[in-house]
Structure 1
Amino acid sequence: MTQEITTTDRTPISKTNAPVIEIKDLYKSFGKNEVLKGVTLTVNKGENLVVLGKSGSGKSITIKCLVGLVEVDKGEINVFGTDITKLDNTELNEIRIRIGFLFQNAALYDSMSVRENLGFTLKRHAKDLTAEELESQIIDVLESVGLSEAIDKMPSELSGGMRKRIGLARTLILKPEIILYDEPTTGLDTITSREISELILEIQKKNKTSSIIITHDMPCAKHTSDRIVILKEGVIHVEGTYEELEKSDDEWVRSFFI
């Protein structure tokens, strides 16, 4: 059962904004391996929700279910008020275009330059753009992640942090209302991780996005989260702010903050 923690030192976003994501009693198994055993959570409009959990706890599977990359066994996933588990591919794609997904490895096309990576994504969904409009949007989104100078570089010429930023630019170019971050700072040094965390906050503030951030990086969790949930044995074990969970009476919960 989820342990509820009441916010005492600030007004949570959940009290002021309606949910854009509601996951109810979500189950997913792979053969005999039960990964999700009744996950229930909400993400409110404009909120950054961080999801923590030990390796194999189902964090990444949860967000893959959320965009239909993994088919659920049972449960509801309401996004913008629509249960996506009941949609066909055409209907699901209409929802997906409103959701950005930053994969762990940034998932850039290695044979394309940065300009081509961003242009390819944009042209798939905005076929009526002129060449000038396309170029303008590419430049604008690169400026938003601080990498205008990388426009003609190939992915192989980019550092890990730059690849993350370009991956994020490719996500942002479609102006998503929800962004799903899967380990956004994995493999990065401390300074670059901090820069990515700052960028996540800038995007939230500027674009009013709602986000789920899967991470093992506690400084990232502290810096970016409005609220945190922790998965344990396939369910949400506890939720609260970083400060609340850090002071939890639950020894297992506190072990994340050591």
Structure 2
Amino acid sequence: METYVKMNAEFTMPVANGPLIEFKNVYKSYGNNKVLDGISFQVKKGENLVILGRSGSGKSVTVKCLVGLTKIDEGDIYIDGKAITNLNEEELNKVRKKIGFLFQNGALYDSMTVRQNLAFTLQHHNKKLSEEEINKAITEALYNVGLEEAIDKMPSELSGGMRKRIGLARALIIKPEIMIYDEPTGGLDTITAKEIIELICSIKQKFNTTSIIITHDLLCAKYTSDRIIVLKDGKVNIEGIYQLIEHSKDAWVKSFFEK
């Protein structure tokens, strides 16, 4: 693995010491297809880690393992120092309450208004909230993504960028410690993609979230990342800040940056 560990203050923001997320020698296969081949990495508290890789490199499986949707074959995964590998479903659900997930397509319920989508998620996580508390949380979440006026719209009335923002509001409404972004700029035009990138950066600043961002978008990787890992054949091929990876001499890594 080619590794760059030097952090340059010109390119990256300081983060708190200590990992919030850690993968240690994690393996995952589907039949004869080895998707994760001893992957190890850490994400520090308050850090944005971008995971780059071509299709089939293990990016999505890594995230599924983190939230317990996929069982690993070997290795360990830690969140806040606690091993989650062998937790039962009830214990996993407690861990999941710390995690907000922005899906690639927003994943809104089409039969519900924006208000109902957010309320459903909030009530699922906390059934003891009053109607006043729910309404306040919804208003705050929509304010944070700049879409207060969309509160009573149906998903079908929203543009792709608006759906992403509402999906982000729904993730933020549970006040997660960890955010996972799955192709946050995928399918968006350039201007809207830049707005989502700015939003990801502002959320980190405002809420001090720890984030994993899966993306093919190099602009997104450049501006949202504190650090990047690039996966190849289920392994971490290279690790470091964007500017150092961009100038890697490795031919395979360089191919990511070819026009």
- TM-score between the two structures when normalised by the length of structure 2: 0.96
CA distance, structure 2, for counterparts of residue 115 and residue 30 of structure 1: 39
Q: Which residue in 2 is equivalent to 1:78?
A: 78
For residue 45 of structure 1, report the CA deviation from its aligned partner.
Answer: 0.5
CA distance, structure 2, for counterparts of residue 51 and residue 113 of structure 1: 33
Q: Which residue in 1 is equivalent to 2:203?
A: 203
CA distance, structure 1, for counterparts of residue 13 and residue 29 of structure 2: 32
User: Structure 2 vs 1, CA of residues 15 and 98 (structure 1 numbering), >3 Å: closer, same or farther?
Assistant: closer
**1:77-112 deviation per Cα after TM superposition (whole angstroms, max 9, x unaligned):** 101111111111111111110011111111111110
Q: Which residue in 1 is equivalent to 2:4?
A: 5
User: Structure 2 vs 1, CA of residues 128 and 15 (structure 1 numbering), >3 Å: closer, same or farther?
Assistant: closer
User: Structure 2 vs 1, CA of residues 75 and 252 (structure 1 numbering), >3 Å: closer, same or farther?
Assistant: same
Q: Which residue in 1 is equivalent to 2:129?
A: 129
For residue 14 of structure 1, report the CA deviation from its aligned partner.
Answer: 7.8
User: Structure 2 vs 1, CA of residues 51 and 182 (structure 1 numbering), >3 Å: closer, same or farther?
Assistant: same
**Which stretch shifts more, 140-149 or 122-131?**
122-131
**1:1-38 deviation per Cα after TM superposition (whole angstroms, max 9, x unaligned):** x3221325328668742100000111111111111111
TM alignment of 1:8-157, pairs within 5 A: 9-10=8-9, 16-157=16-157
For residue 139 of structure 1, report the CA deviation from its aligned partner.
Answer: 0.5
- Paired residue secondary structure (1:204): helix
- Paired residue secondary structure (1:34): strand
Query: Is 1:227 paired with 2:227?
Result: yes
Amino-acid identity (%): 59
Query: Is 1:176 paired with 2:171?
Result: no
Q: Which residue in 2 is equivalent to 1:188?
A: 188
The answer to whether the 8 Å contact 2:7/2:241 transfers is no
**1:172-206 deviation per Cα after TM superposition (whole angstroms, max 9, x unaligned):** 00000000111111000001111001100011010
The answer to whether the 8 Å contact 1:107/1:167 transfers is yes
- TM-score between the two structures when normalised by the length of structure 1: 0.96
CA distance, structure 2, for counterparts of residue 99 and residue 235 of structure 1: 24
- Paired residue secondary structure (2:213): strand
**Which stretch shifts more, 171-180 or 82-91?**
82-91
User: Structure 2 vs 1, CA of residues 192 and 232 (structure 1 numbering), >3 Å: closer, same or farther?
Assistant: same
1:3 partner letter: E
The answer to whether the 8 Å contact 1:25/1:40 transfers is yes
5+ residue gaps, structure 1, are: none
Aligned CA RMSD, in angstroms, stands at 1.4
- Paired residue secondary structure (1:86): coil
The answer to whether the 8 Å contact 1:229/1:240 transfers is yes
- Paired residue secondary structure (1:256): helix
CA distance, structure 2, for counterparts of residue 170 and residue 121 of structure 1: 7
The answer to whether the 8 Å contact 2:20/2:44 transfers is yes
- Paired residue secondary structure (1:194): helix
CA distance, structure 1, for counterparts of residue 215 and residue 120 of structure 2: 28
User: Structure 2 vs 1, CA of residues 157 and 15 (structure 1 numbering), >3 Å: closer, same or farther?
Assistant: closer
CA distance, structure 1, for counterparts of residue 8 and residue 19 of structure 2: 22
CA distance, structure 2, for counterparts of residue 8 and residue 107 of structure 1: 36
1:218 partner letter: L
5+ residue gaps, structure 2, are: none
The answer to whether the 8 Å contact 2:180/2:213 transfers is yes
The answer to whether the 8 Å contact 2:123/2:129 transfers is yes
The answer to whether the 8 Å contact 2:24/2:75 transfers is yes
CA distance, structure 2, for counterparts of residue 137 and residue 69 of structure 1: 28
For residue 251 of structure 1, report the CA deviation from its aligned partner.
Answer: 1.5
